[in-house]
Chains A and B, each alone.
Chain A
Amino acid sequence: MDAADPMLPRRYRVIRATPEIAGVATVELAPLDGPAVPFAPGQFNMLYAFGVGEIPVSISGDPARPERLIHTTRDVGRASGAIVALKEGDMLGIRGPFGSSWPIAAAKGRHALFVAGGLGLAPLRPAIYHVLNNRADYAGLTIVYGARSPEELLYAEEIGRWKSRLDTEIEVTVDHARPGWTGRVGVVTTALPRALAGTDPATIEAFVCGPEIMMRFTLQALAAAGVPAERSWISMERSMKCAIGFCGHCQFGGDFVCKDGPVFRHDAVADRIAVKEF
């Protein structure tokens, strides 16, 4: 980020644009105005589609390879639609990275549990990469991923590769499926007991990302399974403007999601995530 002016976007060029599931695409970007910028897993950038608008999008690439800046975006409106439509060679303005991060390095020695819902796998992926890159540092690695249907599983090929690793436990579940799908069907919380069987809940550090209702029920299920609230982390979304704690757009109770979040410890926000008006 340009330390002199965090409000000034830097130019990036799309070096690869990959369609993912319907309405979702991943772009790989290279900076035009200087060196690659390091980031921590869970942080986000403000992506500026020239002439259209600027939106927060999590970084979904490998933190050990910051030269490959990767974002996965779902088309839900004007700005996100313009980003999903980007082609190789197109330009994009970027400010960031901003915000708090998954404390994955600090979780060294623990059993890393990732629970992702839908597109929530994208903000978790950098932390998953970190654990995979440093697997011997962690007592275990479990990924539980829920999506609407088999056709809406993000990064399906990569999940297949993770599944084939002997040191990684993966439970994938979809909300509904047609015959031919041989995996699990049921909401993500129903996959947790099996994923956690045989693991001492006190050794787990849980990282949860997905729609807010999904996170709320997942946190309840984790608490019921004995995972302490101070060992559970979530990532919040609120619409943003400045991303640097000035405008108040992203207010969430007493916090600003852009500066104090997006990653929060469960016990710090437990009283708020169930309340609609926050």
Chain B
Amino acid sequence: MEVRRFDQILAEHPLFQSFDAATIALFAGCAKHEHFRKGERIYSEGTPADRFYIVTHGDVALQLATPEREPLITETVHAGEMFGWSWMIAPFRHSNDAVALNEVRAISLDGKCLRGKCDASPALGYTMFQHWVPHLLTRMQSLRLQVLDLYGVKA
């Protein structure tokens, strides 16, 4: 089986496509393969957000603990999608729990290391924010629609 290199995989990913080769190589240097079993917790709310993830196979639930009830799943993430965005924004702590809904394979990137590289090279940080803030805004808009409770009788 051909083992594809991280830089090849990232270069083809929609969220990385428009970065130049040197930046992709830098990301690839911070990447590793991950494997989670069904039901396994990938991270917990409030813990340091030092890694972020690109799902390559399977589905992940992002959920919130609710008192005296089962947790509430607010979003699911699927193959090709990225999650764990809190690594980009202070205080760098996860704002939800991530749980594997089935067998999940992912690539994780070391956000803490990337933050260090951005501090050393603000131009890199600026490029990253330029690339990903539009995506974050789309996600925020989606969450706003969820909060509006569109399908409620009075919506």
**Contact between chains at A178 and B145 (CB < 8 Å):** no
Return chain A residues, CB-CB under 8 Å to B145: 187, 189, 213-214, 217
B144 and chain A: residue at smallest CB distance: A187
- For residue A150, give the distance in angstroms from its CB to the closest CB of chain B: 10
If the complex has contacts A211-B155, A213-B145, A213-B155, are A185 and B74 also in contact, measured as CB distance less than 8 A?
A: yes
**Contact between chains at B71 and A186 (CB < 8 Å):** no
If the complex has contacts A178-B70, A178-B71, are A187 and B146 also in contact, measured as CB distance less than 8 A?
A: yes
Q: Does B95 contact A (CB under 8 A)?
A: no
The residue that A175 contacts in the complex, of B59, B101, B149, with Cβ under 8 A, is B149
**Contact between chains at B76 and A186 (CB < 8 Å):** yes
Considering residues A147, A210, A211, A214, which has the most beta carbons from chain B within 10 angstroms of its beta carbon? A211
Residues A161-219 near B (CB distance < 8 A): 175-179, 181-187, 189-190, 194, 210-211, 213-214, 217
**Contact between chains at B150 and A117 (CB < 8 Å):** yes
Chain A residue total in the interface (Cβ 8 A): 30
**Contact between chains at B153 and A76 (CB < 8 Å):** yes
Return chain A residues, CB-CB under 8 Å to B71: 178-179
**Contact between chains at A187 and B142 (CB < 8 Å):** yes
Q: Does B126 contact A (CB under 8 A)?
A: no
Q: Does A152 contact B (CB under 8 A)?
A: yes
Residues A123-148 near B (CB distance < 8 A): 146-148
In the assembly, what is the distance between CA of A185 and CA of B141, in Å?
15
Residues A222-263 near B (CB distance < 8 A): none
In the assembly, what is the distance between CA of A181 and CA of B59, in Å?
12
Return chain A residues, CB-CB under 8 Å to B136: none
Return chain A residues, CB-CB under 8 Å to B146: 175-176, 186-187
**Contact between chains at A148 and B151 (CB < 8 Å):** yes
If the complex has contacts A186-B75, A189-B142, A190-B142, are A179 and B150 also in contact, measured as CB distance less than 8 A?
A: no
Q: What residues make up the interface of B, taking CB atoms closer than 8 Å to A? A: 59, 61, 63, 69-76, 78, 101-102, 141-142, 145-146, 148-153, 155
